Structure 1
Amino acid sequence: MPNIQTSKLFWASCLALLVTSLSFGIRAGIMGRLGAEFQLNASELSTITATAFWGFPLAVVIGGFIVDIIGMKRLLVMAFVFHLLGIALTIFATGYWTLFFSTLLVGIANGTVEAACNPLVASLYPNDKTTRLNYFHLWFPGGIVIGTLVVMLFNEIGYGDMWQVQVGLMLIPTLIYGYLFSKLEFPVTERVASGVSTGDMYKAVVSPLFIFMFVCMFLTAITELFTGQWIGLLLSNVISNAVILLTLTTGIMVVGRAFAGPVVHRLAPQGVLLFSAVFAALGLYLLGHSTGSMLYIGALVFGIGVCYFWPTMLGFVATNIPKSGALGINLMGGAGMFAVSLYTIFMGSRYDELILKHLPAGASLAEYQAAAPGTEQANALASANTLAGPEVLNFTLTLPIILIIAFAGLVFFMRSRKPEKLTHA
């Protein structure tokens, strides 16, 4: 049974992750409005969105190298400061560059939170890492649900243009988690407590198993986070209120992670990852090939697929390659977010190309985007968006299909191995 200090640290960590997820949910909900207000095309919006994914790996990787040196508490103080600055700059944004830099600051804050909190949770619960990391990470989809519901509520009551107020709501949990962490004492990481040397840590992160998981993290993160950030935009002309698809997907993720314990204990982390890849592929197929109510079914199936990806990837490394320590966990997180940033930029440009493909020959995308609603050009652009969005999802479908093969091999490989446990010095 965890003691009071352990529980307080865990719940404060969850609150910090809630701020991270709110930034994703609210940004996904207001992306179209930002594009209209500041006259940004899909490539520019994708670059702004990707900026959060640049800041995240930058912070989480650097954090992985220094967390054992400066301690987890100092990292979280830094996260608090970056969150405050990023949120404030977003509220007072005036165009592309202010949105760019504010999103970068929030991304750095988000990465710093995970750089400290992932190894903190693994250190607090050394005998139940994967399950506890799933519990911790349920606050990521949970915050996205809250964020998208906030956006929907503001739209419903006619205040959708007040996106600054929606962003400002993130200040409340930010101030609370900053206060809580300032009052709590932190343990050292599990690797330090167990006396594993820095040399052994570096050996662990260049082992074949770690490199395999590192590469797979690229694909699992893109499948989950790219689709989550862009589903509303890609399917906005296919279904009347596409943000509901994101809410359904993330809602399923919250429930799935809340009941991760029995699933993880039954299938083991590698079995959970194979299960996830199968359902993620099926869900993406339905989202890319359906209309009407079947899109809701696709969102539910996709949510079941991706709900365990991120925390179980981290939990697998923490459980089976524990000597990699905080560095191993944070390199995994950095790899995932970096891959999403590159893929988002690539697919943003690709999305513009696909839209142009479905417009009349020689058409200017900027001209069509500036057309007044109800005009022939505006209707043609809506039709092109309807066709282009599912094509992006169908391209992304190849990633979970590759993962099915990779994780099937991992299940077979792990039959002859047992999780490694560290003994505290």
Structure 2
Amino acid sequence: MDEKSKKSLFRACFFALMATSFGFMLRAMLITEWGVEFNLTKTQMGEIMGVGLWPFAVSIVLFSLIIDKIGYGRAMAIGFICHISSLVITLFANGYWMLYMGTFIFALGNGTIEATINPAVTTMFPNEKTKWINKLHAGWPAGMVVGGIMAISMGELMKWQYKIAIILIPMLIYGFLMLNKKFPVQERLAAGVSYRDMLKELGILGALIIISLIVFEVGNFFSLSLTVEIVLIILFTGVFGIYTRVPGQPIFIILLLIMFPLSTAELGTDSWIVDLMANEMRNLHLQPGWILVYTALIMTIARYFAGPVIEKLKPSGLLIFSSAIAAAGLFFLSMATGIMVFIAATIYGFAKSYLWPTMIGIVGERFPKGGALTLNVTTGVGMMAVGIVGAVFLGFAQDKGIDNNIANYDRANQTSLQAKYISVEKNSIFGTYQTLDIARFEKAPVHEREIIENSMFEAKKEALKTVAVLPVIMLVSFLGLFLYFKKKGGYKQVEIN
């Protein structure tokens, strides 16, 4: 494959990834409006944002198992059909379930697309995988920037249906660019690595992680009992184990586990950042969506020009640096007011830029025998973790924070606002909780509304402080990996022939 063909295919992959983030960005900007129009709780809003992530993981993993058989072009066509179908359902949504299903189908399309583009790019640029994966994943924040600016420019009075419809623009662009494109033979196949050897890189432990995540979330969707879920996990993992008979690569398993806090710190926070920082942005007389656009712009630039940074720090050193700065940025963001919000967002945006694509790059460089599977399972675990746990956790933390803050106010002032307004019982993966009765809240006297709104504002800040702990966990983990590689003579890319 000549250089011109490589660059042409890379551009098509880049715009396809931009299209996937358009949907994420617009849903993040519209989730608060949907909450008001359809009387959604914070946790239901979190579930809608979450379902934009975990079906992605299901499709990216399943297509990784068969993509070398069905072809990369066909996979892209399936992703395109999912995107168009999702848009139609969302435009005609009349409540929680249609919003949920529209987001679900869009996520399936996203996973199909990324199952294709990640292995395609690492195959085209085998000697600079982390650099080009960072460049490719600049397409994600680039789509957020373009989509966000377009939606904001339409104004707050514009109906949300018109805003969500602009997703059609990048869909049609990548659909056109992908026409008649030829994909390279994936490096695993070119090197003659067997299908079973690819599965062995994942191993029994890796399969246990991703199968458990898929079964628990799909089981939640179909209301399966815990016993049935456990039986399914044992069955699927057992079959995989009988076929592969190896536990998997230890370092790869560690990287999969690190994806839990990493994905929540990045995508989980992105899912809620507009809602979390809405009050501070309005105090600056700015549309809240600008905070997400701003951090996405920083990510786009940082990722696209990541080459010199990767060369200087090496992938393992870059992850240590990014984790430390991300922890500081999130904590700073939880306390920032006024113009300091943008300074904190700058730190946070820069730090989180390199985490996700560098993790994928390391997997591609260290475990090339895993082909599309190990690359995409890494992404799948991250998306699944934030979809099942991360986004819902941030929503749950806010609901609980509001409940606790109002209870504290009642005790201090001998009032009964908690019993009066925090009266709707809901269920989530974190258990039963009491949430705000929105209909009653909207009819509350002005002074009681102000008290509750202040409690909601403080709960949002507290949620950001909570998530700031996650990059600290990542930092400790990456320091351990750095010492491991140092003991082995330094970080080196593994070659297969």
Quickly name the TM-score band, shorter chain normalised.
Answer: over 0.9
Question: Where has structure 1 moved over 3 Å in runs of 4 or more?
Answer: 367-370
Q: Determine whether 1:331 maps to 2:377.
A: yes
Deviation at 1:376, TM superposition (A): 2.6
Q: Determine whether 1:232 maps to 2:229.
A: no
1:368 and 1:328, CA in 2 relative to 1: closer, same or farther beyond 3 A?
A: same
- Match of residue 285, structure 1, among 311, 315, 331: 331
CA distance in 2, matches of 1:387, 1:368: 21
Counterpart in 2 of 1:123? 123
CA distance in 1, matches of 2:89, 2:23: 13
Counterpart in 2 of 1:135? 135
Counterpart in 2 of 1:209? 251
Counterpart in 1 of 2:425? none
Counterpart in 1 of 2:170? 173
How much identity, in percent, do the aligned residues show?
35
1:392 and 1:26, CA in 2 relative to 1: closer, same or farther beyond 3 A?
A: same
CA distance in 1, matches of 2:152, 2:182: 39
Counterpart in 1 of 2:428? none
1:238 partner letter: E
1:249 partner letter: T
Preserved contact between residue 320 and residue 420 of structure 1 (Cα < 8 Å): yes
1:135 and 1:243, CA in 2 relative to 1: closer, same or farther beyond 3 A?
A: same
CA distance in 1, matches of 2:39, 2:132: 43
2:301 partner letter: V
Deviation at 1:112, TM superposition (A): 0.9
Deviation at 1:372, TM superposition (A): 5.0
Alignment of 1:12-411 (within 5 A): 12-155=12-155, 159-160=157-158, 162-205=159-202, 206-240=248-282, 241=286, 242-341=288-387, 342-359=389-406, 360-362=417-419, 363-364=421-422, 365-367=436-438, 370-371=441-442, 375-411=446-482
1:179 partner letter: F
1:414 and 1:152, CA in 2 relative to 1: closer, same or farther beyond 3 A?
A: same
Deviation at 1:89, TM superposition (A): 1.0
Q: How many residues in Structure 1 have an aligned counterpart in Structure 2?
A: 420
Preserved contact between residue 285 and residue 397 of structure 1 (Cα < 8 Å): yes
String of CA shifts for 1:100-159, please: whole Å, max 9, x gaps: 10000011111111111101111111111111111111010111112222222122xx53
Gaps of 5+ in 1: none
1:346 partner letter: F
CA distance in 1, matches of 2:439, 2:332: 29
Greater shift in the superposed pair: 141-150 or 100-109: 141-150
Structure 1-normalised TM-score?
0.95
1:226 and 1:2, CA in 2 relative to 1: closer, same or farther beyond 3 A?
A: farther
Preserved contact between residue 123 and residue 189 of structure 1 (Cα < 8 Å): yes
2:269 partner letter: T
1:385 and 1:186, CA in 2 relative to 1: closer, same or farther beyond 3 A?
A: same
Deviation at 1:37, TM superposition (A): 1.3
Deviation at 1:374, TM superposition (A): 7.9
CA distance in 1, matches of 2:38, 2:474: 38
Q: Determine whether 1:422 maps to 2:493.
A: no
Greater shift in the superposed pair: 68-77 or 259-268: 68-77
Structure 2-normalised TM-score?
0.82
CA distance in 2, matches of 1:262, 1:324: 27
Deviation at 1:237, TM superposition (A): 2.4
Query: Which SS does the other structure have where 1:39 is aligned?
Result: coil
Across the aligned residues of Structure 1 and Structure 2, the Cα RMSD in angstroms comes to 1.7
1:395 and 1:368, CA in 2 relative to 1: closer, same or farther beyond 3 A?
A: farther
Preserved contact between residue 238 and residue 386 of structure 1 (Cα < 8 Å): no
Preserved contact between residue 272 and residue 394 of structure 2 (Cα < 8 Å): no
1:44 and 1:301, CA in 2 relative to 1: closer, same or farther beyond 3 A?
A: same
